[in-house]
């Protein structure tokens, strides 16, 4: 019987690809749940292992959020929370 692989490892490997990460974030956004989206964004940041300021997907993410009607206050809160999470790590 084959050994199982922890889901977190599979997800992390999957999210290292920028296109897959963007698709993951778009799917989380479609659920219209800010906490779920925040968790998904943290998954992507962890997988990318890059500081928020150099993540290439952030500008695309902000643009996508705006296209989906997410307000500036919410976008700012999400980015601020992620920035704080990264600095605390």
12-44 per-position pLDDT tens digit: 889 888 889 888 988 888 888 888 888 888 888
Least confident of 7-11, 26-30, 67-71, 83-87: 83-87
- Per-residue model confidence (pLDDT) at position 31: 87
Residue 44's contacts (CB-CB under 8 Å, 6 or more residues apart) are 15, 21, 24, 25, 55, 57
- Per-residue model confidence (pLDDT) at position 88: 65
Query: In the structure encoding, which two tokens stand for residue 6, read together?
Result: 């922890």
- Per-residue model confidence (pLDDT) at position 11: 92
- Per-residue model confidence (pLDDT) at position 51: 54
| Model pTM score | 0.57
Can you tell me the distance from the alpha carbon of 61 to that of 76, in angstroms, rounded to the nearest whole number? 12
Q: Give me the residue spans of the domains in the chain.
A: 14-88
Residue 15's contacts (CB-CB under 8 Å, 6 or more residues apart) are 21, 24, 43, 44, 46, 47, 48
């Amino acid at each position: 019987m084959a050994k199982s692989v922890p889901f977190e490892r599979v997800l992390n490997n999957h999210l290292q690809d920028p296109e897959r990460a963007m698709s993951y974030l778009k799917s989380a956004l479609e659920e219209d749940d800010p906490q779920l989206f925040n968790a998904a964004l943290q998954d992507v940041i962890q997988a990318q292992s890059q500081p928020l300021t150099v993540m290439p997907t952030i500008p695309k993410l902000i643009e996508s959020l705006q296209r989906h009607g997410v307000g500036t206050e919410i976008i700012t809160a999400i980015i601020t929370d992620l920035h704080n999470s990264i600095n605390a790590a």
